[in-house]
Amino acid sequence: MDNFEPIDELSLVNKRKQRHQDKSTHRQRDFIHKISTSSSLHLVWYLIPIIGFFPSLWTLYRRQGSREQLATSRLSITLAIFWLLGYLFLATGAANADFMSMRLSILNTFLTSGYFLVSLWLIFLTVQGKCKRLPVFSRFAEEVIDKYLS
């Protein structure tokens, strides 16, 4: 019976922690592996709020990239333009209307938060490899933005 080690509660806790750390490290590696593919990384880059507008515009201007990159670029530009127009109209209305200024400022905050949340949601869909379409915006991007920028 010399082969058995005494059970130590501290060693059991340490082993459990080590297993948990191994699992979380494995999940992080899987997540990084999903993002690390070049196509997925480009798509994520296009979908970053405000900043992604510029590489998207450059991609459409040069007409280079895969079909998926062009579609994502069009969607990114469409979202950014709608956000910018809405932001400018609401900010102008808030500056000029005395009674409605607070309400328009709050609406402006909701619009900006919605733009950022939709962009983050699209980034997560991209990382998971799922379809990145928004019912109204994707169709508008395909018809109007494709006509003038592609």
Other CB atoms within a 10 A radius of the CB of residue 19 amount to: 10
Q: Any alpha helices (H) in 37-100, and if so which ranges?
A: 38-47, 53-62, 67-96
Cβ contacts of 130 within 8 Å, gap of 6 or more: none
Q: What does the pLDDT look like over 90-145, one tens digit per residue?
A: 999 999 988 889 999 999 999 999 999 999 999 988 888 887 777 777 777 777 76
Give the H or E element holding residue 150.
Answer: none
CA pair distance 40, 13, nearest whole angstrom: 39
DSSP 2-33: TTPPPP-HHHHHHHHHHHHHHHHHHHHHHHHH
**Closest CA relative to residue 82, chosen from 125, 58, 118, 122:** 118
The pLDDT mean for the chain works out to 79
Query: Whole-prediction pTM value?
Result: 0.68
